[in-house]
A and B are shown apart, each in its own frame.
Chain A
Amino acid sequence: MIEAMIYALPFLGQGFLVTLAVSGLVVAGSLVLGLVLGTALAFGPVWLGLPIRAFADTARAIPLIVLIFTVYYGLPALGVNLSPFWAAVAALTLFKTGHVIEIVRGAITSIAAGQMEAAKAIGLSFVDRLRYVIFPQAVRRFLPPWINSVTDSVKGSALVSLVGVVDLMMAIQQVIGRTYQPMPLYLLGAIIYIAVNASLSVTSRRLEARFARVVAS
């Protein structure tokens, strides 16, 4: 069991990097899109909010694997040819953006309306109100659920193996294809994913504790 795991390790490095790259790109892309769209949803007019709400609800309501297949198989039919890697990253980012929009909106609307009014009363512009008053307070509510959603991105990135991207999951499958020993390899894969996600969870718990202290004081 252990020998099979040690034998496999060198073959998994490349795939592990791809998993990290996919997760990193998805997290960064969805953070930027989600912040913009989530803020627009919280403060924007109805005609802007409705399509954002529809997008966020749709992205969260369909299975991720269906979204990946739709982008991967659907875009070429429309004349857009993306490599499997970028198609998968695009699909995962769309999915994750839906979640980040919800988290951002939740964090912003949890700040009492009086804060916004007070900031308005002392004459801050809209951008300054967000920058100096709303965001610094909202970030405490935003971080813990967001880091949980980063864990989800790492887990979700395993699905890119289904469209032929050689990530950690696919690298594991390839080694199994040579050694015909599925069990040690899948357990090794689980250990690696758990190591990455557990360190993220620990970070999240630390941040939660830190911000809880700030709020309490």
Chain B
Amino acid sequence: MDYHFNFTIVWRHAWRLWWGLGLSLQIALASLAMGMVIGVVLAVAYTDGRRITRMLIAGYVEFIRNTPLLLLVYLVFYGIPSVGGFAYDATTSFIVTLGFYAGAQLVEVFRAGLDAVPPGVVDAGRAIGLTPLRNLFHVRLPTAFRVSLPALSNAYVSLFKDTALGSVIAVPELTHGAQWINFNTFRILEIYALLTPIYLVTGWIILAALRLLERRFAIVRPQ
């Protein structure tokens, strides 16, 4: 192997990586928030709704789950503005795409969470005179949320990985920064030797941090 590693040029542009890492984490957070709203609303609608509602929600989930994310990214960024007669910037479009993508996964997560609420707890809520709406907000959703926490942490890490696809529509996130350095300095191996550990280590750190948070909110706390 006669490749000579030279990191000096890469360090000169390394700010693009740190900046991109920050943007990646923010995109993941924003789309997780959007996905959670979609997920909670649709999960409640699915659990309490009628057959037609259920079919529509199942259709949305199946559409997102069986389509490549890359296609969805293109569809939202190039497709929808072409028929809608409006435009939005790449980052907004990408966050919306990931939000709907996360929403489809989180519907399933929250639905399982709602199903996991013991019927006795719901009955108890009814017995003390809570209206169905109050029962939902004070009893069912808080319990379901705590059951769903581990799945939410995994969803965040997985969304963080998926932000790498933003590079195809020039969202200046981590992978896009790396590609910029790759194409402008040709220090190919250096940049990918940096990029891979950045994704790995960041993923580990967020997962470890979120596991601590889960323990804080766990229903049964380890003594």
Assess A182 versus B71: contact at CB under 8 Å? Given A63-B161, A63-B162, A198-B62.
no
Residues of B in contact with A, size category: 35 or more
Chain B residues with CB below 8 A from A158, complex form:
68, 70-71
Chain B residues with CB below 8 A from A189, complex form:
71
Least Cβ distance of B28 to chain A in Å? Answer: 12
The answer for the CA separation of A183 and B189 in the assembled complex, in Å, is 38
A183 CB contact (under 8 Å) in B68, B80, B192, B203:
B80
Least Cβ distance of A59 to chain B in Å? Answer: 10
Chain A residues with CB below 8 A from B68, complex form:
154-159, 169, 193
B200 contacts A193, CB within 8 Å? no
A190 CB contact (under 8 Å) in B71, B82, B200, B203:
B71
How many A-B residue pairs have C-beta atoms within 8 angstroms? Tell me. Answer: 113
Produce 1/0 per residue, B179-223, CB < 8 A to A: 100100000110010011001100110000000000000000000
B199 CB contact (under 8 Å) in A62, A154, A172:
A62
The answer for the CA separation of A64 and B164 in the assembled complex, in Å, is 9
Which A residues, 171 to 217, have Cβ-Cβ distances below 8 Å to chain B?
A: 172-173, 176, 181-183, 186-187, 189-190, 193-194, 197-198, 201
The answer for the CA separation of A162 and B169 in the assembled complex, in Å, is 11
A62 contacts B188, CB within 8 Å? no
B66 CB contact (under 8 Å) in A58, A173, A176, A193:
A193
Which label, helix, strand, loop or mixed, suits the secondary structure of the A interface? Answer: helix
B145 on interface, CB distance cutoff 8 Å: no
A14 on interface, CB distance cutoff 8 Å: no
Segment at the B interface, from A45-53, A73-81, A113-121, A138-146 = A73-81
The answer for the CA separation of A183 and B165 in the assembled complex, in Å, is 20
Can you sample 18 A-B contacts with CB below 8 Å? A61-B200, A62-B200, A63-B161, A63-B175, A64-B164, A65-B165, A66-B164, A69-B179, A70-B196, A77-B188, A78-B3, A158-B71, A159-B70, A187-B75, A190-B75, A194-B62, A198-B62, A201-B66
Q: Closest 5 CB pairs between A and B?
A: A63-B164, A158-B68, A197-B66, A155-B68, A186-B75
Which of A's residues lie within 8 Å of B, judged by CB? 58, 61-66, 69-70, 73-74, 76-79, 151, 154-159, 161-162, 169, 172-173, 176, 181-183, 186-187, 189-190, 193-194, 197-198, 201
